[in-house]
């Protein structure tokens, strides 16, 4: 049996350290799983120790392409995680955030696929599965932010009354979860709750300007609070000769999801569903006329049509 794609252990160490510029390469993971083919995956909550490193190198590393030898980066690797999380949040809303085996199962699936929202927060850790609830509330918040963003478009104005109800509800949770010693924050949240409750009774469909102003402020405050809460930093880089670009550095999956939504809002993208029957993935489109998530799907759809016509 070949120990690794790079030969013996010593050779692997050398090669991997050169490839990655850092011996940390052996800790590559995708979602919650380490990139190893044999041996059980090392659990998220355990920091690798020297023995594990040797085990990882002895195991056959799965080098798919150059992207897999860089650290897991949800912003780049799993753009669909945002949609998966948002769709999950809507289910939680519908269920009234009540305990439910189906939702627990989906939460575990999400964690297996993408990892926990905050590193080292295990779902199964005894004695109480508190992170399950925080995962749900975060997903609800994400779903609401999404809906709020959509409702800002005039053609989605029908979503607005529901968004107002949900925003009021989200202030109620925040207050319920906020420790009583944080008096200043509580006062601020209570004031906002009162404002939104009053607006709810006065809301008029014709009042477009006032809605978009209010809802944009809520959306920005929410995104900023969540970026801060998950420790996201924004950075600006300069690329010669004259272009500046900004990006997010997210140390957690939760932060990366909010960073993705922030990027989405900044670009003014809309959510589209891929028209290729076998894909149907949701994707952000800056150009609202874009119909496919990728050139790959566009080509495949054309090929299928041609085949159908040929028959
Ligand atoms: Zn597609």
Shared domain for 186 and 205, answered yes or no, is yes
Coil, helix or strand for 34?
strand
Task: Place 233 in a pLDDT band, splitting at 50, 70 and 90.
Answer: confident
Shared domain for 87 and 209, answered yes or no, is yes
Q: How far is the CA of 272 from the centre of ligand 1 (A)?
A: 10
Does residue 144 lie in a domain region?
yes
Q: How far is the CA of 285 from the centre of ligand 1 (A)?
A: 12
Indicate whether 226 pLDDT > 50: yes
Whether residue 133 has a cis bond before it, omega within 30° of 0: no
Shared domain for 85 and 207, answered yes or no, is yes
Does residue 225 lie in a domain region?
no
Q: Of the spans 190-204, 217-231, 268-282, which averages the highest pLDDT?
A: 190-204
Once rounded to an integer, what is the mean pLDDT over residues 142-158?
A: 93
Give residues whose Cβ lies within 5 Å of ion ligand 1.
274, 276, 279, 281, 293, 297
Q: How far is the CA of 297 from the centre of ligand 1 (A)?
A: 5
Q: Which of 72, 105, 121 is the last residue of a domain?
A: 72
Domain count within the chain? 3
Mean pLDDT is lowest, of 38-42, 133-137, 279-283, for: 38-42
Q: Which of 72, 100, 120 is the last residue of a domain?
A: 72
Shared domain for 279 and 306, answered yes or no, is yes
Q: How far is the CA of 233 from the centre of ligand 1 (A)?
A: 31
Query: If residue 33 lies in a helix (H) or strand (E), which one and from where to where?
Result: strand 33-34
Mean pLDDT is lowest, of 31-45, 115-129, 146-160, for: 31-45
Does residue 248 lie in a domain region?
no
Q: How far is the CA of 241 from the centre of ligand 1 (A)?
A: 35
| pLDDT tens column, 86-117 | 999 999 988 876 778 888 888 888 887 887 78
Does residue 188 lie in a domain region?
yes
Return the number of other C-beta atoms located less than 10 Å from residue 84's C-beta.
18
Query: If residue 40 lies in a helix (H) or strand (E), which one and from where to where?
Result: none
Shared domain for 39 and 110, answered yes or no, is no
Q: How far is the CA of 276 from the centre of ligand 1 (A)?
A: 6
Structural domain containing residue 113: 77-213
Task: Place 49 in a pLDDT band, splitting at 50, 70 and 90.
Answer: very low
Q: How far is the CA of 200 from the centre of ligand 1 (A)?
A: 39
Furthest-apart CA pair in the chain: how many Å? 72
Average pLDDT, the chain: 74
Q: How far is the CA of 289 from the centre of ligand 1 (A)?
A: 15
- Determine the Cα–Cα distance for residues 53 and 12; give it in Å rounded to an integer: 12
Q: How far is the CA of 114 from the centre of ligand 1 (A)?
A: 20
| pLDDT tens column, 276-306 | 888 888 888 888 888 998 888 899 888 888 8
Q: How far is the CA of 295 from the centre of ligand 1 (A)?
A: 8
Q: Which residues pair with 234 in a beta bridge?
A: 248
Shared domain for 45 and 165, answered yes or no, is no
Shared domain for 115 and 198, answered yes or no, is yes
| pLDDT tens column, 243-280 | 665 667 777 788 889 888 888 887 788 888 889 888 88
């Amino acid at each position: 049996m070949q120990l690794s794609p790079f030969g013996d252990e010593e050779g692997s160490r050398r090669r991997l350290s050169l490839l990655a510029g850092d011996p940390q390469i052996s800790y590559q993971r995708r979602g919650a799983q380490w990139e190893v083919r044999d041996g059980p995956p090392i659990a998220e909550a355990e920091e690798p120790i020297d023995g594990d490193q040797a085990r990882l190198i002895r195991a056959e590393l799965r080098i798919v392409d150059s992207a897999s030898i860089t650290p897991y980066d949800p912003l780049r690797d799993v753009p669909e995680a945002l949609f998966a999380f948002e769709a999950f949040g809507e289910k939680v809303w519908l269920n009234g955030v009540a305990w439910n085996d189906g939702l627990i199962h989906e939460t575990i699936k999400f964690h297996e696929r993408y990892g926990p929202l905050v590193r080292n927060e295990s779902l199964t850790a005894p004695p109480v599965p508190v992170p399950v609830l925080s995962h749900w509330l975060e997903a609800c918040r994400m779903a609401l932010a999404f809906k709020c963003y959509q409702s800002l478009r005039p053609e989605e104005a029908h979503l607005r009354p529901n968004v107002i109800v949900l925003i009021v509800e989200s202030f109620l949770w925040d207050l319920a979860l906020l420790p009583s010693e944080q008096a200043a924050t509580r006062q601020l949240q209570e004031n906002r709750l009162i404002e939104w409750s009053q607006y709810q009774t006065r809301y008029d469909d014709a009042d477009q300007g006032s809605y978009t102003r209010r809802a944009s402020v809520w959306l920005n405050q929410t995104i900023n609070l969540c970026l801060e809460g998950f420790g996201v930093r924004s950075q600006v880089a300069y690329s010669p000769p004259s272009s500046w670009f900004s990006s997010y550095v997210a140390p957690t999956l939760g932060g990366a999801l909010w960073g993705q939504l922030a990027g989405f809002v900044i670009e003014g993208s809309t959510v589209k569903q891929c028209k290729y029957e076998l894909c149907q993935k949701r994707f952000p489109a800056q150009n609202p006329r874009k119909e496919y998530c990728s050139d790959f799907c566009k080509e495949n759809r054309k090929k299928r049509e041609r085949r159908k016509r040929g028959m």
